Amino acid sequence: MDLDALIADARDMIECESPSSDLAAVARSADVVARVGERWLGSAPERIVIDGRTHLRWRTGDQSSGVLLVGHHDTVWPIGSLKRHPFSVDGGVLRGPGCFDMKTGLAMAFQAAAGLDGVTVLVTGDEELGSPSSRALIEDEARAVGAALVLEGAAPGGALKSERKGVSLYDVAVEGRAAHAGLEPERGVNATLELAHLALAVADLSDATAGTTSTPTTARSGQTTNTVPSEGSFAVDVRVRTLAEQDRVDAAIRSLRPVIDGASSVVTGGPNRPPMEAWTSTQLLERVAAIAERLGLACPEAVAVGGASDGNFTAGVGTPTLDGLGAVGGGAHADDEHVLVDALGPRLSLVRALVVDVLATSTNQALQSRAVRP
């Protein structure tokens, strides 16, 4: 492990700003990531441009891939963020926009795969948007391998992410009928009141015991303060631990019906990411524990988290998946985003050994067979 090179690689990528919504910036970032990856992997990546978004793929060696390393080079940080949060390493803490989520993880992925045969490294450019253009690519690559290792930043304390909630996103639109709010409000059909009824119904779909949250979020209705509102809408964010819960909530939201006579409603949207259920990571966690003991490293804890990643997609197709293998630090998407430099060496050693261990499995099918839904 070359720590100085890892930090230099991370700096190169961090200092090329890459907000997801800026296609030109993402393309520039892809150029930088390609150069960094080529130095370690010995070849230029395939450039895959979908809907204007640039994704990169490397396949190492001549044998078919057994391990998929997953990462993304887009960030939530707008152009100009470097002026407020310049790259720095001070007191053992590395900082800069996108350092934790997840450009340091990309630098780790390249070193983890260097010199090995049978690794696919996939770096996408739209993860922060929900991976609309790269989802099929991620799923296809995951189906072809024995395991997917996601180099997203670690959970607090360096914990691995063994379970992620699935995400569904909806928009509920309502139509009513306008009327003068002072002269004849009784002639109107109030879209705001109908939205309130439906929002309460959506919130009631939450189930704390199952870990399901169904949350009405942004809302709007009407145009003027003296008019019974004739239309409006609200967004819904759903998070679930299991596919069964995702299906339950989806069916319930699609079956919503207006409460007020004369109102109508339309639901659009649906599941965005399947849940990364705990069973998909079990056998990989067992390997991590054995490797950590062999290397004399502390074994990271494993935790369930509410946020989603591209690991949801790899797990969703049944591929054994372990997430949060990247940098140890915190502050993703926030002003205090940071990476702990002292943790990089042990973490990279663990990831590299895990890649080698999975590649040494006699057949990918043997690994896959242990990732069976209970």
Active site residues: 74, 127
Tell me if residue 79 falls in helix, strand or coil. Answer: coil
Q: What are the angstrom distances between the C-alpha of 126 and each of 30, 324, 374? A: 12, 18, 32
Tokens of 242: 């299991």
Strands 213-221 and 231-240: antiparallel
Tokens of 142: 């995951």
Residue 69 burial (CB count, 10 A): 28
Tokens representing residue 271 in the block: 């599941």
**What single-letter amino acid sits at 69?**
L
How many residues are there in the chain? Answer: 374
User: Within the chain, how many helices (H) and strands (E) appear?
Assistant: 11, 18
DSSP state of 164: E
Contact 258/174 with Cβ under 8 angstroms?
A: yes
Structure tokens at 49: 């441009």
Q: Are strands 166-175 and 213-221 parallel, antiparallel or unpaired?
A: unpaired
